[in-house]
Amino acid sequence: MQTRDLVAALADGRDWSGNELAQRFGVTRAAVWKRLAELRRAGLPLAAMAGHGYRLALPLELLDAQAIRAGLPPLLRARFADLAVHWDIDSTNSELMRSAAAHADFAVCLAEQQHAGRGRRGRQWQSPLLCNIYLSLLKRFDCGMGSLSGLSLAVGVAVARALEHCGAPALGLKWPNDVLAGDAKLAGILVELGGEFLGPCYAVIGVGVNLYLPAAVREAIDQPVADLAACCTPLPSRNVLAAALLAEFARVLDQFASDGFAALREDFAQRDRLLGRALVLSDAAGSHSGVGAGIDARGALLLRQGDTIVRFDSAEVTVRKA
């Protein structure tokens, strides 16, 4: 009995008794119960109804490459021909970075779970089985790496649009890589670059979206977090959500490749959750206090310190508590 096959059965919408699962997979009921206990420990929301059986308590589904492509606008399907779904992987970003030479533009890697998911600055990204979206996309550019300033902000605009299209409330963006529901993190972005510094180059764009965060996973995260299960009714299909993300990536990345971040600056500004807030920034030069003053045309964060505006291309940002 493979875990993937058991999860697929539990996700089909019906209740399965222990006996039915044992017969379907040719194992003992004890083996079924042992595997169900493993899934609970992994954080899957299992419902056990007396006299009815077992099923997933939320409409989570396995990712399916064919279903994702079918959810794309017809004109975009050919662009996403190189789309792979993995059951378990170290990191979708790592997979595309080490295999970039074998992939064409707009190659996509998704996974049901990651055992070494990564966030910005090497932080761990919690990646429980089936609960969320872990997606990376390879985008090739003719220009050099210096022309990609603001790319993570442009991707943030695309992610926010896609999630709202799937039923999320109006979302905010926190420079440089967070998508927020209220002041809680709903999605994160990791952009890694490769190729030639002066061009051509490529970006591997990783996105993690919280659909459902088990309690144990929430406890392991050291910042306020949100999930779509709490703010979307009904909870969107994972395959529909993946397709929505890819469709927005295509639109935004085409615009970025043509016109840079400046063309998306206003879209970001309308969602900017740091604008006008008291901030503390930390970088190699130390700590800097001020008030968020927006984003410039290159994607740098603007910090007002008295009558002076200071630009930051990279820093850790903390919002001061009132």
Catalytic residue ranges = 120, 185, 320
Residues 6 or more apart from 236 whose CB is under 8 A from it? Answer: 166, 167, 211, 228
Which amino acid appears at position 211 of this protein? L
| SS3 assignment for 194-206 | EECCCCCEEEEEE
Coil/strand/helix, residue 92? helix
Per-residue burial over 180-216, b if 16 or more Cβ lie within 10 Å, else e, is: bbeebbbbbbbbbebbeeeeebbbbbbbbbbbbbbee
Six-digit token string for 149: 């300033």
| CA 125 – CA 118 distance, rounded (Å) | 5
Residues 6 or more apart from 158 whose CB is under 8 A from it? Answer: 245, 248, 249, 251, 252, 253
Six-digit token string for 301: 């964060």
Cis amide linkage into residue 200, ω under 30° from 0: yes
Residue 117 phi/psi, 5° resolution? -65, 145
